[in-house]
Amino acid sequence: MKALFCYNDNDFRIEEIEKPSISSKDMLIEMLYCSLCGSDIIKIFDLNLKKPDIYGHEIVGKVVEIGSNVTKFKIGDIVVAGHHVPCGNCHYCKHGNQTMCAQFKETNFIPGGFAQYIKLSDKHIENTTFKLPEGFNLLKALFVEPLACCIRAMDRIDKLPSDVLSITGAGAMGILFLQLIKLEGLKAVVIDIDNSRLELAKRLGADLIVNPSDISFKNSHDSSNERTNKNLLSDKIRKIFPLGIDVAILTVTNEYTINDAMSYIRLGGSINIFGMSEKNSIIPLNFSKVYKNELTLKSTYSATPNTLARAYELITRGKVDVSPLISEVFALSEFKKGLDMMLSRKIYKAFFKL
């Protein structure tokens, strides 16, 4: 069978490998579509990871083989699946930290999403795989796993009905967060440097959109203008929401976005670190302000079976609209083209098929 190997950020090769064999408890699916996640991009550029490797985990596929003990699905079913499965019983799982579970980290698709055939274990079949309705748009289904990650972040946020949440980054994840926030009846501020993406956020219900570049915010933090620059963004937000933001969600986290959030977060507010690059991940932060203002810093990583099930329902019932995030489908042989278009922000997400 065919699979896409990443050798480095500029070298991707489709190669022949052996098709995975399945046991009586497993299932084999044929990859119909696999989309590119930001976490895949981080791995592609991570020089410390062993390569070549097969990436990809946002998949939709057709069941082509089932083990004798598999009863939940049948050959021909079209399914969407999540790639990690927590045990549900360990210390981490009992504390709600399912994504820290050892089994969660060990379970994954074999050999990866960017492959012709993908093996799903019994754990995947029972916990993170869902049959799609007949005729459902398969590209929309690829957003089940990303949305599930956002749902988990929302679950971990303490909030009241009158709260105001901000989203830094109006990419695919930011747009998904926006719709979840509006479904809960909360107010949303969306921050990005791309006006076209902000316009989509406005159409989808954002109460305030802010482009820091348009208010002469230069993303410069030297001693002479740090306070002025940060206050421009804070003042813009506090003009509408005087107390500041209750919860700031960072789909893009760097020294600028997190320090910006520190300027417009309310006293006692919280910052959720949702997206983080390994590059430049050591960030200076004013912990005196964190302490004196009783700020909470929290991170959220990945999804759980529960949030996957809820995301599946929201997507298949049309409660979350992902159609504006869908663009052209690339052949897997055009992987570099799709990657480059995502990196240049010409598309929200790259979709691939063999």
Asked whether 166 and 191 are in contact (CB, 8 A), the reply is yes
Q: Where are the alpha helices (DSSP H) in 129-225?
A: 138-141, 144-155, 172-183, 195-203
Asked whether 277 and 270 are in contact (CB, 8 A), the reply is no
CB proximity list for 207: less than 8 A, separation 6 or greater: 164, 187, 188, 189, 240
Residues in the chain predicted with pLDDT less than 70, given as ranges, are 216-230, 278
In angstroms, the CA 167 to CA 157 distance is 13
Q: Per CATH, which fold does 2-147+302-353 belong to?
A: Quinone Oxidoreductase; Chain A, domain 1 (3.90.180)
314's tokens: 């929201």
Distance of CA 50 to the CA centre of its chain: 23
Asked whether 59 and 118 are in contact (CB, 8 A), the reply is yes
Task: Give every strand in the sheet of 208-210, ordered side by side.
Answer: 208-210, 187-191, 164-168, 245-250, 265-273, 296-299
Asked whether 115 and 31 are in contact (CB, 8 A), the reply is yes
In angstroms, the CA 55 to CA 121 distance is 18
| Range list for CATH 3.90.180.10 in the chain | 2-147+302-353
Q: The whole model's pTM is what?
A: 0.95
Q: For position 215, what pLDDT does the model report? A: 79
| Range list for CATH 3.40.50.720 in the chain | 157-299
Return the CATH number of 157-299, one of 3.20.20.70, 3.40.50.720, 3.10.20.30, 2.40.170.20: 3.40.50.720
In angstroms, the CA 168 to CA 148 distance is 19
Name the nearest CA neighbour of 99 among 312, 251, 314, 308.
Answer: 308
In angstroms, the CA 138 to CA 346 distance is 22
Asked whether 169 and 252 are in contact (CB, 8 A), the reply is yes
> Taking CA 152 as the corner, what is the angle to CA 328 and CA 60, rounded to the nearest 5 degrees?
35
Q: For position 214, what pLDDT does the model report? A: 85
Asked whether 5 and 13 are in contact (CB, 8 A), the reply is yes
Instruction: Please provide residue 158's backbone torsions phi and psi, each rounded to the nearest 5 degrees.
Output: -80, 125
Q: For position 216, what pLDDT does the model report? A: 56
